[in-house]
Structure 1
Amino acid sequence: MKALLLGAIFLLELALLGSAGYWGFTLGTGWPVRLLAGLGTPLVIAVVWGLFCSPRAAVTLPDPAKLAVQAACFLTGGVLLTLAGHAVPAAASPLRRGFR
């Protein structure tokens, strides 16, 4: 069960990095800025995740602090995806239909 959960977390991390890269490449600026944002933003998030949240993290945090860093990373990915024009991800669309 633990391996299954770690695999799901890994896929969510990849989606997080993908959303950050997507945001960067869809900016309405010149290609150098889009390239820098599209490659740099996921790199920064990956470094933060690797330093504080990975199973082999260089900095060992207490569980509440580690959870806060993970939540901040995923919140950042959601905000960047919203800024890229995808405010309602597919996972939330059934909830949205239920409240109409």
Structure 2
Amino acid sequence: MWKGANLLVAFVVEVVALGIFGWWGWNTADATLARWLLVIGLPVVAAIVWGMFAAPTAARGNSARWIVKVLVFGLAGAALWSLGHPLLAVGYVVVVAANLLIIHTQKLQPTKPS
């Protein structure tokens, strides 16, 4: 149950990061077309990079995996902060850090399919 709960939290914070990127994109651009490009483009780019480097089935090494995780979650926290929600940003980053620490120390990372 503990493993499943932590993996669920990991999935939720990943999806929330994509939503934060879209929210930030909408509030950053002035023109409607630019807004829609950022709302769709930022989460798609983040998801592609995540899939290539940070996903459990990614073929890249551990160092790239951790760099991408720190960048994606850190940028999501920074985006929340810039949207005027510093407490939410700090709370999000604390939850992410705690979850990553638990997963790393308990070896809860899902294994690659063979």
The answer, yes or no, to whether TM exceeds 0.5 is yes
Match for residue 39 of structure 1? 40
Amino acid at match of 1:67: W
Higher helix share: 2
Q: Is residue 2:24 matched to residue 1:16?
A: no
Runs (4+) of structure 1 exceeding 6 A deviation are none
TM-score by length of 2: 0.70
TM-score by length of 1: 0.79
User: How many equivalent pairs are there?
Assistant: 90
Q: Unmatched 5+ residue regions in structure 2?
A: 93-114
Q: Is residue 2:76 matched to residue 1:66?
A: no
Partner Cα separation in structure 2 for residue 52 and residue 18 of structure 1: 19
Secondary structure of the structure 2 residue equivalent to 1:88: helix
Identity of aligned residues (%): 32
Partner Cα separation in structure 2 for residue 14 and residue 65 of structure 1: 20
Partner Cα separation in structure 1 for residue 38 and residue 67 of structure 2: 24
- Could you say what the CA RMSD is over the residues aligned between the two structures, in angstroms? 1.8
